[in-house]
Structure 1
Amino acid sequence: MGRLFALILAFGLALAQGPEAELREALLRTFGSGWGAYASLDQAVYLTPEGKEAEVLFTWTYADPGACRLRLEVAPSQEAPRAVLVYTPERQFLRTPEGQTLPLDDRLLLELLFTWQTGPLGVGFPYTRVEREGEVDLPDGGRALAYRVERREHRCLPKGVLEASPFVGRIYLQEGRVVGEGYFSPVLGAEALVLYRELREVDGVRYPVRLETWALVEGKGVPFARGVNLEFRAGPALGEELFR
């Protein structure tokens, strides 16, 4: 009788928890709870629709979510001159490898804004709405529990941006851990699905070591890129000069 009561109680608590708490626990279980400033170097191999390698890009990321500061440096090799994208609430710009400073076009700005919504950077910001959608097929042949998520406010984004056009995405779980995230990519012009293949723990946080990006076209997954993390530092000092 006692065991039956405990089972019923546990089931009732699980139902009472709701999708918001379930997803929050899964995000913290996957990425950790100690996210502060970090710096990373990642390599992305972009693919043709047939899955053949087409281009390689390296990205240096300097992120400070506490101060809402983000700097991305992008180049085709580690030795090549880098394009620089900077985002703070006060300024957003692109600096070309030749040193010219330009405002971000709408597609790049939206893509940069979405960087704040997903993965490790998205963990620290709550969702306005979470809905459990049930099990779905992933393009790699696996299955996952899907959650539809929505944000209508975000302290790192300019006021009014999400009020006018809320962020809508999906998060995919397997065995209580996040294995992927999806959202509409302005650069792709299609739904992007990122699958996390491996994570590494550094100073209490877990960062994706390997990932795959798929474009979802007419419901079908098309391979877009493979990524690998080459360097990761948690808690570095990021001077203001990086964001000017």
Structure 2
Amino acid sequence: MSSSLVALAKELSRTRPEELPEKFLQLQQLLQRSTAITSLKYEIISLDILPILLLTLRQEFTTIPNGWRLAAMNLSPLACSCMCVEVDKTNVKTKTWSTKFFDRYLPQGVDSFILLTRHLQDRYMQEKKSHLRQDYVTYMTTVMNNLLEVLNFHSNQYGLIKQVLISNKFMELFLTDDVYICALMINSFEDIVRKSRRLTGSSVFNDLSNKLKQDYVNELAYKLTVFDNNEVGKAAVRALIAVCETDSSIVTLLADKF
């Protein structure tokens, strides 16, 4: 086991929450220099560094210099990288913590990405300067891409997809009337819906409650009719097509309602 990583793990356990983001830059550097990435990721998980990182993503970054940029552009990709690793429950190197990885760390990571994006949205809405607002759009895009990358890497973990789709925070993001965030969230939603198709049986989206499915469809239809932005319109059409392809009952719903 890497002595540098063991030392870092001990240091992280003694570090105050507001100082953790900067400390995790050391972990990022270790990963970048490593010639055995998978083994190093295993050590990061076995030393319980990953849950500290995921918890750090949930904190308030306003008081930290360049905190939101650090969270979105450094910590979020770092968490994504650590989560995107093949874990075999029968492997002697991973079986002691593999259950914890799938049952706790992956769901926590998904939730942390969504919550961080929601926090970034709040900062975006409060920001008055246009160039800084665009920075926050970039930050949100990065974090959402990290979420999608994790879902894609663990594509057989359908529970993670359902976790996203039933998340109140995700729905809050989806309901935005801001054109930039709107396009981002619709595109992300379409990607997630397409990932929800199982090899056999019904899709994850199909398994959602009728009310929740209708809420998503109603919001897409609303955005399609209200927004005059081409990107939002095209994204909404693609998302509605994806939903209809995934759940045929939506076609009837659309025909009856609209």
Could you say which TM-score interval applies, normalised by the shorter chain? under 0.3
User: TM-score scaled by structure 1?
Assistant: 0.21
User: TM-score scaled by structure 2?
Assistant: 0.20
- Give 1 or 2: higher helix fraction: 2
Structure ranking higher on relative contact order (CA contacts 8 Å, 6+ apart): 1
- Give 1 or 2: higher strand fraction: 1
